[in-house]
Structure 1
Amino acid sequence: MQERELEDFYQLNSSYYLKIQERPPKSNLIDFLFYFFVLILVVLGIKLTIFDYNFFKSISEGNYYYNILFFPPRGNIFTSDGKVIAQNIPSFDLVIDLVLMRKDKNLFNQTIEFLEKVEIVPNVITKEKIEEELTKKNQILIRNIDQATGIVIKNRDLPSLIVVDSFQRFYPYGEVFSHLLGYPSFEKNLRGVSGLERTYDDYLVGEIGFKKYLRDARGIILKEVEKKEALEGKNLITTIDFKLQSLVFEKMKENLEKLNLKKAAALFVDDQGKILAMASFPSFDNNIFTKVILSKEEKEKIKKILEDKNSVLLNRVISGLYAPGSIVKPVVAIAGLENKKITPQEEIYSPGYLRVQNPYTKEVFLFKDWKVHGWTNLFKAIRDSVNVYFYTLGERIGYETLMNYYEKLDFTKLSNIDIFGEKEGILKRKEKYFLGDIYNISIGQGEIAITPLRMALLAQALGLNKILKPYLVEKIIDSNGKVVFENKPQVIKENIFQQEELRIVQKAMNEMATFGFGGLFKDLPLKVAGKTGTPEVGNNVFNGIFIGYFPYEKPKYFFVMLVEEAPLFSITASRILHDILKDGIEMGIFKDL
């Protein structure tokens, strides 16, 4: 049975295989097409890799990577009461593609011709400079192109010129805050070069963003390769009181113009070291230094500023060095009291001069007073600024002791205020000195010079018996409002003088402000303590200085006003201060009085 079944199976399968073999053979057309297509690919591959290699190599080498930088807006700067005093307005940055220009002479000529038309060449960059950079760099960046010029460049649509959205620094109050703020320079890629713009540049500048592109030989962007977003700068909150700063500037300008005077400096600082107002004359509009393309008038204005013999850009408050003159007399009085060289009621006679004879040559020198004062005690000496009294007292105290008191007040040191440009004072201690040297330093003349800032800190020392570190920026905040830095009051020195002797001199300073020189401050609803100074700086040429503080009973505000080359006896500095205090009190600027 099994053998029969196997036989049937083989018969069935044999017939199946026979049927397969009997089918017609497959067509060769498909095989032919397949092998023909493979042959074409091989031929093309040989052509591309061998015969056309140089052609495609030149094309690929024409592609290049290109970075476009995106500069973030600088941080804004605010006054303590929220006014924006430094901000940004829209502008453009211009990128000149040197890769395309060195490949295409015609494009180079077109680009230069157009840049001359929009006055970028030669006003901002010369043709020679572009030619010089042509083989060294891939691009030239020009920042702060104004909007009108940027739009014209965009519409011209030259592949060698790329216009990028950017910003321009803008100061809405111009000359009122110019020395305080400073400005960034386009020549330094809009980094701060003076004022707070320089001191806090690393906070203000933000982080640069970029896009990296692959471009072909024609300048067409093939793809974006890499990208980083720009991060805007951080904001400064200053200690400056907007109303007080504006008032100080207005009153100084008004009075200086009346007397045809040009140079002056003023500062207000409080009992925490916060600078409330800072002004320097002559002033300038710092907006002019943020522009790239300037009109003829603007170029002339900049030239005038730079060449002005009055040193317009100098911040006199922190960089001007002046003989302090009679404002040091309260210090000399304290030294006399503490060293038991005088009592408040002891009188010294002033005939209007002191006569001193050189012991070697017998030559006679006259050390003058500004008038005959007669018998004078300490209160009258400070009130009427009696030179002969302080010549005599200085001689009793001695040269070395006087110099020690001035050094104790840090006359030769920086205050380390947070603004660029502060100068150290000058106080030359002589190994060999003469009586005339003692007389000079007793009235703040000779080889002694300090800044108006240091003069204001002298007023602070006389009012509080301590010196605090002055500062202009209260805090720094990021774009989310987070505080990233904050200044705190810092006492540099305290207990400088013995308290009992200091009180006597403070009383004399109050009498000076109330009754001295016609009682200029007695009409105010508060008591002021102060001291004038009129150091001679040339033949009958004097600087007028007034330092002081208020309220007299509980000192909170300290000030200095300095007017260069003021008429003798004009009390210009005191008069300006009086007007500021009078209006400031009425405006409610001075709080907690």
Structure 2
Amino acid sequence: MDFNIDKKNQQKKAWWLKGILYFLFLSILCYCFYLQILKGDRFEKLANGNRIRIVRNKPLRGTVYDRNGTILADNKPAFTISVTYADIRKEESEQKLEIDLLLELLDFDPDALSEKIANAKKAPFDPYPLIRNAPIEQVSLIEERSFDLPGVLTKSDPIRNYPLGELTAHFLGYMGEISPTRYERFKKERKKTDPLSYWIGDQIGKIGLEMSYEQELRGENGFAYREVDVWGRNINDSPQKQEIIPKAGNDLYLTVDIALQDTLSKLLHHASATSGGGAAAVAINPRTGGILAFCSAPSFDANLFTSGISQKEWDALNNDPNRPLFNRAFQGTYPPGSTFKLLIALIGLEQEYITPDGTLPRSCGGGMQIGNRYFRCWKASGHGWTNLFSAVRQSCDVYFYQLGSKISIEHLYDYSRQAGFYKRSGIDIPNEAVGFMPDKNWVAEKYGDDYYPGGMRANLAIGQGEILVTPLQLARFYGGIANRGIMQTPHFVKKILSPTKEWSREPVWGPATKLGVTNLKTLDVLDQACYMVVNSPGGTGSLARIPGIDVCGKTGTSQNAHGEDHALFVGYAPRSYPKIVIAVVVENGGNGSSTAAPIVRDGILSYLKPELAAQDESTPTPEPITPEIILEPISPPDSTQDSTQDSLLQNNGILEREIQTND
């Protein structure tokens, strides 16, 4: 009996054991089904992530050329030392040894290396650059100790190259490492294997044309798939994936003439060194808006940023009192001085406040009283009776004090905006300054409603006081005068060409704008006045004169509260069919007539010299003849003219400081 009971217990235990084993087997089978079938794709990707690595082959960035095919930006081969975080040693003590070895071999700052490794951790399977354009000595050291440095690799990568260095930095811009914020944004927008994806540590256009045309220049990534060992070292190509060839970026052909750029840059650097301030020049084709030269002095070498600028180099640039990183050509804002008188004359003619040959109630005796302040003319002995032509030619301040008193703040603001001041031009590089122009609300807030001080009127009429413009805006305004009242959108890029030369296209620019001139005779008068400034006896711009080329322009000298006056000149040529307009500003340069005008003259001559050389050499070159413009004697105004002028000038307010310019 006991034997039967034991036998039954044993059988019962056996059934339980079998049940447990069956259950375990079934559980394992279900789990395998879960792993292999339901989650198979995911775990295959994880396995491949450890065994198969995506190797990104960077494309060649597009080349940038000037209008004549001179290379301004291209690529050069270089070595990059990178780290793949997933492959470096994980044991804390071993990782410290590896980092110490890196510090020794690369002569790295410990904090900088720690920051780079922290960045590499954000994309652990992607190589993050430690050193770009690494010297061959460092590359050799890394290769020799590769077994002791798992996760550290060297590779030949193209880097950006600017053959002309400082000469082109202010319009080409430079490359820099993509910021973590932008990387995270791009990471969400595109998959890692998208040809247009960005990887952590990539370089991207930071300013200038490199930034504006990033998508045209960058090209498309190529990809290869490699099998790796546990240390992340390549074993062979993966047969599962086909390699994708990178595509080079598109090329840019610019409107810039690098010979003119070089000429103006040398002149500006000389003027800057002499004055102790900065300088800027902008040259435009007034008929197309194409930028011919775009200079700011002092400048900097954009190649510093290509390899990753050091903190020491950055501090030197950023703390330089001459501000070489500051683009004065379209970010520098200055009172325009007497170059602004052409806009005041335009308003006066359009509103019929003046006629070209008529005089105003006051002759110039060296200044005039407005309110309880005496406003000086730059010429202490005065200019006598002047009409518009002689007032512009000699840059008579007293004439424009009187004309300015007739112009309302609304008209001044509206015409200024139409002339391109206090607004962006639409140029195809970022961070353009707009300057400043007071409007009715600004004046009302400062001086009270319905009050426009006479002193402020006088100030603005000669381009001083509460007004700031950029050299680009001045060039565009005078380009509008030269181009019969039409201002084209300034731009650098002439055409975009595919890397295979299979296609090209020209960008479409914003619509041209008008100066606000309704009577074309107004433009004839302004053009004649600008011609007289340079070519007529007594013209303030005589140093811009070029035998054989009719140059037109206007001098300007703007007050500077921090030192010597700023020197300005804007000129265009040839008068019959203008092909170039140049605006120059020299900080602390003194008189526009003696400092800025010769720079414009030499720039125009440099650009138009081939035309002069193409003239018939068999014909003897005549002696330069100074065009003599005969003017009728200027008589005092008739007593029936505006008799309220004196009262208006005497009682319309006061100026905060005396004004005296010297053109």
The TM tier, using the shorter chain, reads: 0.7 to 0.9
Instruction: Select which of 188, 211, 219 maps to 1:206.
Output: 219
**1:376 corresponding residue in structure 2:** 386
Distance in 1 (alpha carbons) for counterparts of 2:96 and 2:257: 54
Instruction: Select which of 327, 340, 350 maps to 1:328.
Output: 340
Bigger mean CA offset, 448-457 vs 140-149: 140-149
Q: Map residues 546-565 of structure 1 onto 2, 5 A cutoff.
A: 546-565=569-588
The question of 1:466 aligning with 2:482 is answered: no
CA offsets 1:87-141 (integer angstroms, 9 cap, x no match) = 1111133331322324455652443133212336327942365268659734451
Amino acid at match of 1:83: T
Give the RMSD, CA atoms, in angstroms. Answer: 3.1
SS at match of 1:422: coil
Bigger mean CA offset, 125-134 vs 248-257: 125-134
Alpha carbons of structure 1 residues 326 and 246: separation in structure 2 relative to 1, 3 Å: same
Alpha carbons of structure 1 residues 211 and 591: separation in structure 2 relative to 1, 3 Å: farther
SS at match of 1:538: coil
Distance in 2 (alpha carbons) for counterparts of 1:499 and 1:105: 80
Q: Map residues 194-593 of structure 1 onto 2, 5 A cutoff.
A: 194-221=207-234, 224=238, 225-226=240-241, 227-257=243-273, 259-270=274-285, 271-292=287-308, 300-348=312-360, 349-357=363-371, 364-371=372-379, 372-429=382-439, 430-431=443-444, 432=449, 433-464=452-483, 465-487=485-507, 491-494=511-514, 496-497=516-517, 498-515=519-536, 516-517=539-540, 519-538=542-561, 541-568=564-591, 571-586=594-609, 588=611
**8 Å contact from structure 2 (residues 540, 593) kept in 1:** no
Alpha carbons of structure 1 residues 490 and 423: separation in structure 2 relative to 1, 3 Å: same
SS at match of 1:85: strand
**8 Å contact from structure 1 (residues 327, 444) kept in 2:** yes
Distance in 2 (alpha carbons) for counterparts of 1:580 and 1:62: 60
Distance in 2 (alpha carbons) for counterparts of 1:369 and 1:154: 74
Distance in 1 (alpha carbons) for counterparts of 2:531 and 2:299: 32
Bigger mean CA offset, 425-434 vs 220-229: 220-229
Give the % identical residues: 29
Bigger mean CA offset, 139-148 vs 320-329: 139-148
Alpha carbons of structure 1 residues 92 and 482: separation in structure 2 relative to 1, 3 Å: same
Bigger mean CA offset, 368-377 vs 270-279: 368-377
Amino acid at match of 1:167: P
SS at match of 1:231: coil
1:78 Cα deviation after fit: 0.5
Distance in 1 (alpha carbons) for counterparts of 2:253 and 2:172: 12
Q: Map residues 162-173 of structure 1 onto 2, 5 A cutoff.
A: 162-173=153-164
Alpha carbons of structure 1 residues 288 and 527: separation in structure 2 relative to 1, 3 Å: same
Distance in 1 (alpha carbons) for counterparts of 2:491 and 2:169: 17
Distance in 1 (alpha carbons) for counterparts of 2:355 and 2:48: 92
**2:187 corresponding residue in structure 1:** none
Amino acid at match of 2:404: G
**8 Å contact from structure 2 (residues 170, 299) kept in 1:** yes
TM-score (norm 2): 0.74
Distance in 2 (alpha carbons) for counterparts of 1:440 and 1:587: 42
Alpha carbons of structure 1 residues 321 and 453: separation in structure 2 relative to 1, 3 Å: same
1:530 Cα deviation after fit: 0.5
TM-score (norm 1): 0.82
Amino acid at match of 1:155: E
CA offsets 1:389-415 (integer angstroms, 9 cap, x no match) = 001011123332222221221312211
CA offsets 1:258-288 (integer angstroms, 9 cap, x no match) = x243311111111111111110111111111
1:583 Cα deviation after fit: 4.1
**1:175 corresponding residue in structure 2:** 166
Distance in 1 (alpha carbons) for counterparts of 2:294 and 2:426: 16
Amino acid at match of 1:355: Q
1:311 Cα deviation after fit: 2.0
Distance in 2 (alpha carbons) for counterparts of 1:533 and 1:586: 26
Distance in 1 (alpha carbons) for counterparts of 2:501 and 2:474: 36
**8 Å contact from structure 1 (residues 73, 233) kept in 2:** yes
SS at match of 1:374: coil
Distance in 2 (alpha carbons) for counterparts of 1:397 and 1:293: 52
Distance in 2 (alpha carbons) for counterparts of 1:190 and 1:590: 45
1:490 Cα deviation after fit: 5.8
Distance in 2 (alpha carbons) for counterparts of 1:330 and 1:275: 23
1:67 Cα deviation after fit: 2.8
Distance in 2 (alpha carbons) for counterparts of 1:133 and 1:266: 43
**8 Å contact from structure 2 (residues 61, 249) kept in 1:** yes
Bigger mean CA offset, 521-530 vs 415-424: 521-530
Distance in 1 (alpha carbons) for counterparts of 2:84 and 2:511: 55
Alpha carbons of structure 1 residues 115 and 353: separation in structure 2 relative to 1, 3 Å: same
Distance in 2 (alpha carbons) for counterparts of 1:122 and 1:342: 70
**8 Å contact from structure 2 (residues 172, 210) kept in 1:** yes
**1:43 corresponding residue in structure 2:** none
1:249 Cα deviation after fit: 1.3
**1:156 corresponding residue in structure 2:** 145
**8 Å contact from structure 2 (residues 540, 555) kept in 1:** no
**8 Å contact from structure 2 (residues 478, 571) kept in 1:** yes
* Structure ranking higher in strand proportion: 1
**8 Å contact from structure 1 (residues 119, 293) kept in 2:** no
CA offsets 1:414-450 (integer angstroms, 9 cap, x no match) = 1111112212232121234212221122112232212
Distance in 2 (alpha carbons) for counterparts of 1:589 and 1:232: 41
1:574 Cα deviation after fit: 0.6
**1:193 corresponding residue in structure 2:** 206
Alpha carbons of structure 1 residues 273 and 128: separation in structure 2 relative to 1, 3 Å: closer
Unaligned runs of 5+ in 2: 1-24, 33-42, 180-201, 617-663
1:64 Cα deviation after fit: 4.0
**8 Å contact from structure 2 (residues 533, 541) kept in 1:** no
